[in-house]
Amino acid sequence: MRQRGVLPDNFTFPFLLKACAHLQLGQDVHALILKLGFHSDIYVQNALVSFYGGCGSVELALNVFHAMHQKDLVSWSSMTTAFPMRPLHYFGKCSLPRM
């Protein structure tokens, strides 16, 4: 895309993150998201939470989740599925009052 002069948008990044198979590649995409200013887009944020949760990086998913100014049903669902190895009540205790 970049070679052809086409810039990614808020719909491009969720698809890029779904295609990432490795944490480092996703972190590179996250850096590009920050560089291009898409870090506050809810679709991009939800994709980041899902990506980090799917990689088992619960703390990174939680960081993105807590930085979100707006949360929707997808945000909460993505975050709760990021906790398969930890008790769900851990997330609930720290986040339920914010719902």
Question: Once rounded to an integer, what is the mean pLDDT over residues 64-70?
Answer: 95
Per-domain boundaries in the chain? 2-98
pTM of the predicted protein model:
0.82
The 3-state secondary structure of 47-64 reads: HHHHHHHHCCCHHHHHHH
pLDDT at 69 over 70: yes
Pick from 2, 1, 48: which is nearest to 26 by CA? 48
DSSP 75-93: HHHHHHHT-SSS-HHHHHH
Q: Place 27 in a pLDDT band, splitting at 50, 70 and 90.
A: very high
